[in-house]
Structure 1
Amino acid sequence: MDISDENKPKILQTCYFTRSREGEQFIHEHVLGFQVTGTMTVHDGHKEYISKEGDFRLCRRNRLAKFEKTPPENGEFKIISIYLDQETLKKLSKELNVKATKSVATSDTLITLKEHPLYKSFVDSLWVYLQLPENEQQVLMDTKVKEAVQIILTVNPELKDILFDFNDPGKIDIEAFMMKNFHFNVQLNRFAYLTGRSLSTFKRDFEKIFHTTPSRWLTQQRLQEAYYQIKEKGKKPSDVYIEVGFEDLSHFSFAFKKQFGVAPSMLV
């Protein structure tokens, strides 16, 4: 699912009672996260990242990620997410006279931050604010987001080259990118943006390479991968459809049968 962070509260506490949850999203803004309880596993198509209770992490913007949120035994899953939006970061860049000075070598989507008293005291200070009504929270949360950025710059100053890099993704090889990321269920405009193109240019360049439309190619590629996972790996259709980029099991089953002439459940 193409989940934009644009309209979310700047600081969000998430809780899922005693159940695991899987999903995926386009990470629109940098997110400073604190794992209160449970475990968060993130896959970006290249690498797996695991955050356990007490871990601090920075998720980088303009990334695609699949996630699994697992509560502790007989407990509940909780995280606190602080969205470091571009508007706030640009203002702070001017206020603090801090700019990105070089390209960052690491391509990691998630960066684990070492424990530090400043991070711990910051999270402790949030609990009172998070009990307030949402409309009252946001008046105060702008200040807390700025505080979070300043703490990161104090504890992990090397991250300024990530936080204050305001460039959009550059133009890259569509074929290589799509072969690695077709299983992410996001809208075409996101794929276009991440390959450094407008939507119309993306569609034009795509059809020159693949000789079909992006939508048709994505459906075919996802179905072929699903067939392999079910037939060769013995996975259940209910475990595969999200993994390969479908949002709905019934739609997946219909498309699968139309493509291969047999329902996915019959391959198991």
Structure 2
Amino acid sequence: MPAFATDPPRSPILYSCYFNVSREGEQFVPEHILSYQVAGTLFTNDGDREQVFREGDLRLSKRNHLVKFRKQPPENGEFKSLSIALDQQTLRSFSLEYGYQAAQHRASREAVVELELNPLFKSYLDSLQPYEQLAQPGNEGLLSLKVREAIMLLLKSRPDLQDVLFDFAEPGKIDLEAFMSRNFHFNVQLRRFAYLTGRSLATFKRDFEKIFQLSPSRWLQQRRLQEAHFLIKEKGKAPSEAYLEVGFEDLSHFSFAFKKMYGVAPSRL
């Protein structure tokens, strides 16, 4: 199971194991996720900055963000990470019970927060090692307690995260042109773009065509191809790298669309 997922995980505590390099592409983070890097390296890119997380690193992925990532196993080993999903229902219940609430809404573009692995976190993570037993039916109450323990540790080590964890507001209506120009290379469904810009899908499409004079799908393809052309011609990127960076899922489809737009295959530039 990946450290980021397109849908909330079934179990709040999960291990990821990969033997090969895994380039997961683009992901939408629907819930806050506390993750510990057990082995291997994780590379993330939220559109503004790249981060590298190695063995022993701890991070908090914030909900309602777009993140690209790549998993690199260690030499002759496997990539391993431990993730704890902090779902909205649990956080709301915790907020009511202990009186925590966000002092202000912070519209930060920072998608992943680096955390210090202090002794309290280390002891907590050690307690999760028998994950196979924890995941067995009948242990739902214990799993719930471990998630709440993670919330308490986060608040103790980083009190400022109160404004992140207990901000239950949905994304507000924002500048559509600026958002799309910054995030066109994330390969997510239009409904995700609509949600993150504070719009219904129908309103998103209507506003989009007013601004760009094109449908979202056509504009996205053209903008991604323009960026791919720049990466290949000016930056020396291989087409096999460029198509993933700009948000295409399939190399053959990318090559076909590129040749149709520029009259030459990307490999011939």
Same fold judged by TM-score > 0.5?
yes
- SS at 2:227 equivalent: helix
Q: Who is 1:246 aligned against?
A: 248
2:191 matched residue in structure 1? 189
Equivalent of residue 39 in structure 1, options 38, 41, 50:
41
Aligned to 1:89, the other structure's residue is in SS state helix
Q: Say if 2:93 is the partner of 1:86.
A: no
What is the SS of the residue equivalent to 1:82?
Answer: strand
1:195-214 equivalences under 5 Å are 195-214=197-216
Q: Percent of counterpart pairs with the same letter?
A: 59
Q: Is the 8 A contact 1:18 1:72 kept in 2?
A: no
Find the counterpart in structure 2 of residue 9 from structure 1.
Answer: 11
For residue 184 of structure 1, give the secondary structure of its aligned residue in structure 2.
coil
Separation in 2, partners of 1:42, 1:138: 31
Q: CA deviation at 1:3?
A: 4.6
Letter in 2 for 1:50: V
2:169 match: 167
Give the conservation status (yes or no) of the 8 Å contact 1:130–1:137.
no
Deviation larger for 106-115 or 28-37: 106-115
Q: Secondary structure at the match of 2:76?
A: coil
CA-to-partner distance for each residue in 1:100-144, whole Å, 9 max, x for gaps?
Answer: 112348542111111211111111111113355554565532221
Cα separation, 2, equivalents of 1:227 and 1:104: 36
Task: Tell me the distance in 2 between the aligned counterparts of 1:137 and 1:209.
Answer: 52
Distance (Å, rounded) in 1 between the aligned partners of 2:24 and 2:199: 30
- One-letter code aligned to 1:52: R
Question: In the alignment, what sits opposite 2:32?
Answer: 30
Distance in 1 separating the partners of 2:156 and 2:258: 52
> What is the alpha-carbon distance in structure 1 between the residues aligned to residue 215 and residue 201 of structure 2?
12
Contact conserved, 2:26 with 2:247, CA < 8 A, in 1? no
- The CA distance in 1 between the partners of 2:131 and 2:236, in whole Å, is 48
Report the RMSD for the aligned CA atoms in angstroms: 1.9
Quote the residue 1:236 is aligned against.
238
Gaps of 5+ in 2: none
Match of 2:60 in 1: 58
User: Among 50, 57, 71, which residue is 1:69 paired with?
Assistant: 71
Number of equivalent positions: 266
TM-score (norm 1): 0.93
Contact persistence 2:134–2:143 (CA under 8 A):
no
CA contact (8 A) 1:59 1:109 kept: yes
Secondary structure, aligned partner of 2:80: strand
Distance 1:8 1:230, change over 3 A: farther
SS at match of 1:241: helix
Q: TM-score, normalised by structure 2?
A: 0.92
Residues 11 and 135, structure 2, Cα contact 8 Å, conserved in 1: no
Deviations 1:54-94 (A, max 9, x none): 11111111000111211222222111111111111111111
Query: Relative to 1, partners in 2 of residues 1:53 and 1:155: Cα closer, same or farther, differing over 3 Å?
Result: same
Whole-Å Cα distance in 2 between the matches of residues 186 and 18 of structure 1? 24
Q: Quote the residue 2:113 is aligned against.
A: 111
Instruction: Quote the Cα distance in structure 1 between the aligned partners of 2:201 and 2:110.
Output: 26
How many Å apart are 1:261 and its aligned residue?
A: 2.1
**Partner amino acid for 2:86?**
L
Task: Give the match for residue 98 of structure 2.
Answer: 96
* Distance (whole Å) between structure 2 residues aligned to residue 237 and residue 16 of structure 1: 25
* Alignment of 1:257 onto 2:259: yes
Q: How far apart, CA to CA, are the structure 2 residues paired with 1:116 and 1:3? A: 27
SS at match of 1:205: helix
